[in-house]
Amino acid sequence: MTLQQLIGGHMRRHWRPYAASALMLSTIAVLTVWIPRQVGHVVDDLVAQRLTGWNLATQLGLLLLAGLCIYLLRVGWRLALYATAYELGRGLRQRLYDQMTRQGPAFFHAQRTGDLMALATNDIDAIEMAAGEALLAAFDGSLTFILVVSMMTLSVDARLGLAALAPFPFMAYAFWRISERVHKAWSDSLTRFSALNQQVQDSLAGVRTVRALGLVQRSRTQFAELARDAGEASYQAQRWEAMFEPAVGLSLSAATVIALGTGAWLVARSEITIGQLTAFTMYLAQLIWPMFAAGWVLSLLERGRAGWSRLEPVLNAPDGLKDVGEHDMPVQATVSWDHIDFHYPGMTAPALSGIDLHWPPGRTLGIVGPTGSGKSTLIKLLLRQYEPTHGRLRVGDLDAPQIRLAALRAAIAWVPQEPFLFSASIADNIALAKPDATREEIMAVAELAAVHADIAALPQGYDTLVGERGVTLSGGQRQRVAIARALLASAPLLLLDDALSAVDSGTETEILAHWRELRQKYPDRSLAVVSHRLSAVMEADEIVVLKQGRIVERGTHASLLALDGWYASQWRYQQLEASLDAA
């Protein structure tokens, strides 16, 4: 879809405001071309001494009334038009947001956050301007140009009008060449602004790392370079836009010289009157707006084209996962990974191979293994962030794609290793999945997650703002707040993806003890624990050991110790490490 098709479709859907604006602009154009003609008649009547004081006052009053009507109509069309153009921008931002929420991790691996933020701001702003001010300026300028030229040639003198229009083809050629440069310049400017946006986002998100590694000066230098490049690109775009004005000025100056010379010759030959020449000169001055409007419209359209060329591929990107499910989440159903193979996009080595695993309801599943063995990947398949390359992921008798994506994810409470906290209070972060939760409910799950005492020690308790990404809390506190949030969701499936990695062994023991109590109260809730620390999974009903994407060991804690494989050796090592730390 081109920018013209996008704006055309928007105009068809909102034709009433555009029609009202066009009607008001048409009235403005008619009044605008009527004023010079009326002034010409007044001048001729004054020269001929045909106007009395009352008639002169009447004529001046009509001119004043016409000016007032033009002012009110210009306010009216702006109110009608800009509201409609902003509606297009709102719709595009909503489409962009919806598109991003439907995408999986692969989409965000290919798109930078700074680029997406720039699309939602500068690029859509440019499209708004093209659909609003540019469109109506084009209509207003074109209509005014047609009416003014018609009055110049028909009501004054055709020869004089044609002579005055002689320089305009040269201006049209200059506009065509300049508009090409403007499009390239604005494309470069938007791209460089995205790079600057990304640098700012990265620097603010990683400000602790930047300071800890002594990279402040380097970050400042990078920002200065990107800011300079963005400023230079914007300057070049504005510089090329400014070229429209000299082209208009030169053309109108040449037209004025030609008109005055030709008009003086016709007045000397008594072929036109002084009043007609005065009206013609006023008409010629009125051509300033259509000419400037042409340059302004071309500039806005090129900005809009540049913005749309960047936005359209993102809006039309295929959904990372097709939500074609028609079924609700089965109740008390076994989750099964049936002969699952999976490759990450662009990778040749398999992340998972031959996975055959069943997780009955109400059971605790432990998933362990060395780094990079595929533990988190197993969870991501259940969350349907990715689809298996081969095999089937089933929930009860249904394949996972047969379940509505919203229903599947609503049944899962997931706590990743690096939980995300919003810039809100601790209470609001815990109540994210249940906004109407009472303070008592929030405190109860905080107790279960062993974070209540930490929160109570803060100056404002549960009303403490955590800052962006929870920056004011420690890693362990963020993980426990996220666990409390997951527990409050009351989802039948709870996934802890190495979510206890930042807590000490004592806190881990307390959390797991609380989970045992919760299981007795809600025996139908299932828990999957991914962990590097084997103490976190030792009480699981089944433990699977992954290595290089394959299940190499499985069983209970006792049976795996008896097997004397990877699990047993890792258990002995961690127990020795814990005893040395205690000593």
The mean pLDDT of 153-175, rounded to a whole number, is 76
Tell me if the pTM is above 0.85.
no
Pick left, alpha or beta for residue 111 (phi over 0 → left; psi -120 to 50 → alpha; otherwise beta). Answer: beta
CA angle centred on 480, ends 477 and 482, rounded to 5°: 110
pLDDT in tens, 435-444: 888 999 889 8
pLDDT of residue 47: 67
Same fold, 83-315 and 341-411+495-555: no
The full set of domain ranges for the chain reads 83-315, 341-411+495-555, 421-491
pLDDT-above-70 percentage for the chain: 95
The CATH number of the structural domain formed by 83-315 is 1.20.1560.10
The answer on pLDDT for 245 being more than 80 is no
Residue of 289, 257, 282 whose CA lies nearest to 144 = 289
Q: Provide CB contacts within 8 A for 323, sequence distance 6+.
A: 102, 404, 405, 406
The answer on pLDDT for 583 being more than 60 is no
The CATH number of the structural domain formed by 421-491 is 3.40.50.300
Q: What does 74-91 look like in DSSP terms, one character per residue?
A: HHHHHHHHHHHHHHHHHH
Q: Provide CB contacts within 8 A for 435, sequence distance 6+.
A: none
Identity of the residue numbered 374: G
The mean pLDDT of 256-281, rounded to a whole number, is 77
Identity of the residue numbered 545: V
Kindly compute the dihedral angle of the four CA atoms of residues 206, 207, 212, 213, in this order, to the nearest 10 degrees.
60
Kindly compute the dihedral angle of the four CA atoms of residues 428, 429, 432, 436, in this order, to the nearest 10 degrees.
-30
pLDDT in tens, 2-37: 888 888 888 888 888 888 888 887 888 777 777 776
Neighbours of 579 (CB within 10 A): 9
The answer on pLDDT for 212 being more than 60 is yes
pLDDT of residue 358: 92
CA–CA gap between residue 408 and residue 400 (Å, rounded): 8
Residue 569 pLDDT level (bands cut at 50, 70, 90) = very high
The CATH number of the structural domain formed by 341-411+495-555 is 3.40.50.300
